[in-house]
C-alpha cells in the first residue's frame, strides 16, 4: 500500500476568529463564502508520498505566520521546513484579498515547486468552531466561562504531565460568576484558572482596558528581569562585537573566547545560516564559544535544531513531541522526534557553554536541550521558563482572545519539563546589584568553565 502524506492546516480557527473581529468582513454571507474558500484552499490534503507534513499557525497578538514541516514516516527525521510564511497582522482587517488568498493558501506554488506533491485531493477539513461559523453563541459571563472551561479541557496538551483536576477547579470558580453575573467575575475566574495551569503560553486578552493582559506562568509573575543586561556584556566584557541583525550578535572575549548572543530563534534558517557562517568563520580559532540565550523569547524548533547542527559532527535525538488531536483525555498524535544532524561545511567542535535564565523560553529551551546532549557543552545560569509546547489562539463570544498550549513536549528520554523549566548543569543566579555594577557572575563562570582561569 502506498504511503501517504497528510497536510494539516492547523491554523484555520484563528483565521476565522479574525474574520469576525473588527468588522473585517461585516457581511455574514461574504464571511461564510471566504471561510469556505479558505477551507478549500487550506484543507487537510492526502498526498501520495512517504512523509508526513504538518502546517502550523502561530498568532502572537499582531504577528501571524505559518510553518510547514515534513517528517519521514517513522517520525524521526525532519525532511523539509519552510518558515515564516506571512499570513496577516494580528487584528488588522483582511482587506487585501490577493494577499489573503496567496498567503492563507500557504503559497501552493512554493509547495508545488518542490516537485514532490502530485495527485493531491481533499481528505477532510480542519474546521473552524461551530460558534464562529454558525449562530452566535450566547454572550453571557456564565456561557463565556463554560465555553472557555470546555475548550481548555478538550484542547490543553500538557494536562497529561500536570497534576491538575480541571473539573473540580471549573466548578469551584463558576459559583462566583453565577452569583455576580458580571464581566469582572468572569475575568477573575479565568485568571484564577490560568494560574493553576502555570504555563507561559497561556494568556488572556480582553476587550476592556479595565481588565489588562494576563499571562500564566513565571513570565507573567515577574515584573522585570534584573539578572541580565546585554549592555553590561558589551561594555565590560566584549573586546569586539558585530551586530548581524536584530537580536543576533557575536564577538570576542578575553582568553581567546567567542561570544554569540541570540534574543530569538525566529530569523529563518536561511538567515541563521548566514549569521553562523559569518560568526563561526570569525570565531573558528577560539578555544571555546559562550552562547547566550538569556532573554531569548523563542521561535521555531527547526531553527533551533539547525543551530545546534552547526556545532556537531554526530546525529542524535534532541527532543520529541505529540499534539492534542481530539477532545478525549488520551486523544494525542503519535510522538514525533527532532534529530540534530551536522549542518554547514565546518562545524565548530571546541568547547561550548550555554547561558540560560527564567526568560529563556519556548524554542530557546529546546535549543538548550539540543546543546546539552553535546559532550563538550555545559549549561550555566538559571532554570529556563518551562514553556515548550506549541500554542493556538481562541476567541470567546464576548471577543476576548486567549492562547493555550496544545502539545506534549519531552526531552529525548521522555521527561517533560513543561511548567518546570530545564535546569542548567551549573546554577548561577545573578544578583541585581552585581548586574547594576557591571558584573555578570554567570558569564564569569562560563569563562572559567572553558579556560580554568578566574
Task: Compare 197 and 221 and report the one with higher pLDDT.
Answer: 197
Q: How far apart are CA 79 and CA 262, in angstroms?
A: 25
With beta carbons less than 8 A apart as the criterion, state whether 250 and 259 touch.
Answer: yes
Most confident of 1-10, 382-391, 430-439: 430-439
What pLDDT does 454 receive? 54
What pLDDT does 237 receive? 98
How high is the mean pLDDT of the chain? 75
Is the model's pLDDT at 405 over the cut of 70?
A: yes
What pLDDT does 223 receive? 59
Q: How far apart are CA 257 and CA 450, in angstroms?
A: 8
Q: Binning pLDDT at 50, 70 and 90, where does residue 220 land?
A: confident
What pLDDT does 334 receive? 93
Is the model's pLDDT at 178 over the cut of 90?
A: yes
The torsion of the CA quartet 410, 415, 421, 425, rounded to 10 degrees, works out to -120
Task: Compare 35 and 422 and report the one with higher pLDDT.
Answer: 422
Q: How far apart are CA 200 and CA 218, in angstroms?
A: 7
- Averaged pLDDT for residues 95-103: 23
Q: Between 97-104 and 28-41, two packed helices, what is the crossing angle to 10 degrees?
A: 30
What pLDDT does 117 receive? 25
Lowest mean pLDDT among 89-98, 318-327, 333-342, 370-379: 89-98
Regarding beta strands 351-356 and 391-395, do their DSSP bridges make them parallel or antiparallel, or are they unpaired?
Answer: unpaired
Is the model's pLDDT at 396 over the cut of 60?
A: yes
Q: Binning pLDDT at 50, 70 and 90, where does residue 452 land?
A: confident
Task: Compare 394 and 109 and report the one with higher pLDDT.
Answer: 394
Lowest mean pLDDT among 185-194, 390-399, 436-445: 390-399
- Averaged pLDDT for residues 378-404: 93
Instruction: Return the domain boundaries, the chain.
Output: 5-133, 141-221, 230-391+420-451
Q: How far apart are CA 401 and CA 282, in angstroms?
A: 45
Cα–Cα distances (Å) from 353 to 382, 445, 450, in that order, read 13, 10, 8
The torsion of the CA quartet 286, 290, 291, 292, rounded to 10 degrees, works out to -140
Query: Model confidence over 58-88: pLDDT tens digits?
Result: 222 222 333 444 444 333 344 444 433 333 2
Is the model's pLDDT at 205 over the cut of 80?
A: yes
Count CB neighbours of 189 within 10 A: 24
Task: Compare 66 and 355 and report the one with higher pLDDT.
Answer: 355
Q: Binning pLDDT at 50, 70 and 90, where does residue 23 land?
A: very low
- Averaged pLDDT for residues 261-289: 96
- Averaged pLDDT for residues 322-339: 92
Q: Up-side HSE of residue 195: CA atoms within 13 Å toward CB?
A: 9
What pLDDT does 186 receive? 97
Lowest mean pLDDT among 22-31, 253-262, 363-372: 22-31
Q: How far apart are CA 286 and CA 290, in angstroms?
A: 11
What pLDDT does 296 receive? 95
The β-bridge partners of 391 are 405
- Averaged pLDDT for residues 403-409: 93
Is the model's pLDDT at 18 over the cut of 60?
A: no
Query: Model confidence over 114-173: pLDDT tens digits?
Result: 222 222 222 222 222 333 334 577 899 999 999 999 999 999 999 999 999 999 999 999
As a whole number of angstroms, the longest Cα–Cα distance in the chain is: 71
Task: Compare 232 and 224 and report the one with higher pLDDT.
Answer: 232
What pLDDT does 388 receive? 92
What pLDDT does 58 receive? 28
- Averaged pLDDT for residues 214-221: 85
What pLDDT does 137 receive? 77
- Averaged pLDDT for residues 218-226: 76
CATH superfamily of 230-391+420-451: 2-enoyl-CoA Hydratase; Chain A, domain 1 (3.90.226.10)
Lowest mean pLDDT among 70-84, 122-136, 180-194, 286-300: 122-136
Q: Name the 3-class secondary structure at 443.
A: helix
C-alpha cell of residue 251 = 564577538
Amino acid at each position: 500500500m502506498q504511503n501517504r502524506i497528510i497536510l494539516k492546516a492547523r491554523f484555520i480557527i484563528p483565521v476565522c476568529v479574525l474574520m469576525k473581529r473588527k468588522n473585517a468582513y461585516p457581511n455574514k454571507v461574504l464571511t461564510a463564502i471566504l471561510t469556505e474558500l479558505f477551507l478549500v484552499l487550506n484543507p487537510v490534503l492526502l498526498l501520495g508520498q512517504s512523509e508526513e507534513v504538518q502546517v502550523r499557525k502561530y498568532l502572537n497578538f499582531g504577528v501571524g505566520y505559518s510553518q510547514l514541516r515534513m517528517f519521514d514516516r517513522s517520525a524521526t527525521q525532519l525532511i523539509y521546513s519552510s518558515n515564516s510564511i506571512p499570513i496577516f497582522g494580528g487584528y488588522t482587517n483582511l482587506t487585501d484579498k490577493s494577499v489573503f488568498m496567496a498567503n492563507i493558501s500557504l503559497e501552493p506554488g512554493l509547495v508545488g515547486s518542490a516537485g514532490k506533491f502530485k495527485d493531491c485531493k481533499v481528505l477532510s477539513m480542519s474546521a473552524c468552531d461551530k460558534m464562529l461559523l454558525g449562530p452566535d453563541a450566547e454572550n453571557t459571563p456564565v456561557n463565556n466561562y463554560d465555553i472557555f472551561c470546555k475548550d481548555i479541557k478538550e484542547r490543553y496538551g500538557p494536562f497529561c504531565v500536570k497534576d491538575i483536576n480541571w473539573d473540580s477547579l471549573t466548578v469551584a470558580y463558576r459559583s462566583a460568576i453565577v452569583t455576580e453575573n458580571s464581566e469582572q467575575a468572569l475575568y477573575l475566574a479565568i485568571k484564577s484558572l490560568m494560574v493553576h495551569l502555570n504555563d507561559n503560553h497561556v494568556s488572556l486578552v480582553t476587550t476592556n482596558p479595565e481588565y489588562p493582559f494576563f499571562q500564566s506562568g513565571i513570565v507573567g509573575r515577574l515584573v522585570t528581569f534584573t539578572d541580565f543586561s546585554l549592555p553590561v556584556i558589551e561594555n565590560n566584557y566584549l573586546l569586539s562585537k558585530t551586530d548581524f541583525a536584530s537580536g543576533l550578535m557575536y564577538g570576542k572575549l578575553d582568553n581567546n573566547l567567542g561570544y554569540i548572543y541570540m534574543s530569538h530563534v525566529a530569523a529563518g534558517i536561511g538567515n541563521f545560516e548566514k549569521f553562523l557562517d559569518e560568526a563561526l568563520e570569525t570565531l573558528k580559532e577560539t578555544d571555546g564559544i559562550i552562547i547566550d540565550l538569556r532573554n531569548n523569547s523563542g521561535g521555531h524548533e527547526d531553527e533551533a535544531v539547525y543551530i545546534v547542527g552547526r556545532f556537531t559532527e554526530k546525529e542524535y535525538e534532541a527532543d520529541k513531541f505529540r499534539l492534542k488531536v481530539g477532545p478525549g483525555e488520551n486523544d494525542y498524535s503519535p510522538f514525533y522526534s527532532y534529530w540534530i544532524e551536522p549542518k554547514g561545511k565546518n562545524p565548530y567542535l571546541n568547547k561550548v557553554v550555554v547561558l540560560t535564565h527564567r526568560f529563556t523560553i519556548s524554542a530557546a529551551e529546546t535549543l538548550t536541550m539540543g546543546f546539552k546532549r553535546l559532550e563538550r557543552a555545559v549549561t550555566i545560569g538559571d532554570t529556563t521558563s518551562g514553556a515548550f509546547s506549541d500554542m493556538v489562539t481562541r476567541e470567546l463570544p464576548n471577543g476576548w482572545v486567549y492562547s493555550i498550549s496544545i502539545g506534549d513536549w519531552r526531552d529525548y528520554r521522555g521527561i517533560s519539563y513543561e511548567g518546570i523549566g530545564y535546569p542548567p548543569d551549573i546554577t548561577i543566579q545573578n544578583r541585581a546589584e552585581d548586574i547594576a555594577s557591571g558584573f555578570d557572575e554567570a558569564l564569569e563562570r562560563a569563562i572559567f568553565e572553558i579556560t580554568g582561569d578566574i
